[in-house]
Amino acid sequence: MQQRPSPPRRFAIGVHPELATANTVARQIKHALLEQGAAEVFLAPLNNQELRQLVSGGKFDALIAVGGDGTMLRAGHLCAPQGIPIMGINVGHFGFLIEVQHNQWQSKLSDLLQGKYRVENRMMLRAEHWHQNQKMGSWDVLNEVIACRGNFVRPVRLRAEVDGFLLANYVADGLIIATPTGSTAYALAAGGPIMPPDLRNILIIPVAPHLSIDRAVILPEGAQVSVHVRTNHEAVMSVDGHQPIIMQDGDEIRAATGPNVVSFIRFEDPGYFYCNLTKYMEKNPVTGDLDGKS
């Protein structure tokens, strides 16, 4: 039987900076936390510099993210290095990563303060951009890292290697390297398999391959993936939907299981993931958080 975690007492509330509904709900949550005995509550937009500094300094026991899936992604990037668990409140349109809806938070908050929850750990990747044998940057990845075409509607040539051995050569719009969490994001739209969130595997799937292997490949967590870009036009690298990074001919993406995990606060049994699959798949929002601004 899983041991009940210690009830958190010091809270950060990170809010989607552009959703008025999120701010309203966040203020109500702060008031309820203080009424129920929380020692400290700091509320600010998730991109607020003071909030980010306090979280990075390990000031809080938990962070409550109020928004949608994009908000959860950004909260995950912020909290993972410190091991701070995240409770999501969905006020967006989709919320695949979020268990608690905006009309449920009162009861779940009471459970949280009593320690009646479990922690679900999600693996992250560590992705690196290499140019002429020089590392240009590295990033933690919760959903996926992608090598893909840029503004020109022409495919790119991508050579994928696993542990130094050739996996496949692709002519495609792009190649996705995803976590199990990311299997329900862009990888799902590209026809990839849905993977349970507690797995620790790496998923590789091409986007619109032309006369190339079109199957997804699932790798063990210890695999080292390398993607070499061959192009005479613009290609880009994107991490979790952030601002794309221009890649040049011969550049390389290296990805492997990272040292950090994202910890989500959950109130339902682990089987909730399967129970909610159909509900999420049928939502298919026409507008809202698909641009990653949630």
- Catalytically active residues are 69
Residue 3 has pLDDT above 90, yes or no: no
Average pLDDT over residues 253-263: 98
Average pLDDT over residues 221-227: 97
Confidence band for 294, pLDDT divided at 50, 70 and 90: very low
Average pLDDT over residues 156-175: 97
- pLDDT of res. 293: 41
Strand-pair category, 86-90 with 100-101: parallel
CA–CA separation, 196 and 218 (whole Å): 13
- pLDDT of res. 102: 85
CA atoms within 13 A on the CB side of 64: 34
Q: What is the pLDDT of residues 130-145, one digit of tens each?
A: 999 999 999 999 999 9
For residue 247, the surrounding DSSP H or E stretch is strand 245-247
Nearest to 75 by CA among 256, 290, 262: 262
Collect all residues with Cβ–Cβ distance below 8 Å to 52 and sequence separation of at least 6: 78
Average pLDDT over residues 117-133: 96
Q: Of the given ranges (52-61, 86-95, 123-132, 219-228), which has the lowest mean pLDDT?
A: 86-95
CA dihedral 191, 197, 198, 201 (to 10 degrees): 30
Residue 170 has pLDDT above 90, yes or no: yes
Mean pLDDT of the chain: 91
Tell me the CATH architecture of domain 125-259: Sandwich (2.60)
In CATH, the number for domain 10-117+267-291 is 3.40.50.10330
Residue 285 has pLDDT above 60, yes or no: no
Domain boundaries, the chain: 10-117+267-291, 125-259
CA–CA separation, 45 and 47 (whole Å): 5
**Total residues found in the chain within this entry:** 294
Question: Residue 267, SS3?
Answer: coil
- pLDDT of res. 200: 96
Residue 210 has pLDDT above 60, yes or no: yes
Residue 41 has pLDDT above 90, yes or no: yes
Task: Specify burial of residue 153 (Cβ count, 10 A radius: 0-12, 13-18, 19+).
Answer: exposed
- pLDDT of res. 291: 39
- pLDDT of res. 171: 97
- pLDDT of res. 269: 85
Average pLDDT over residues 186-196: 94
Residues facing residue 109 across a β-bridge: none
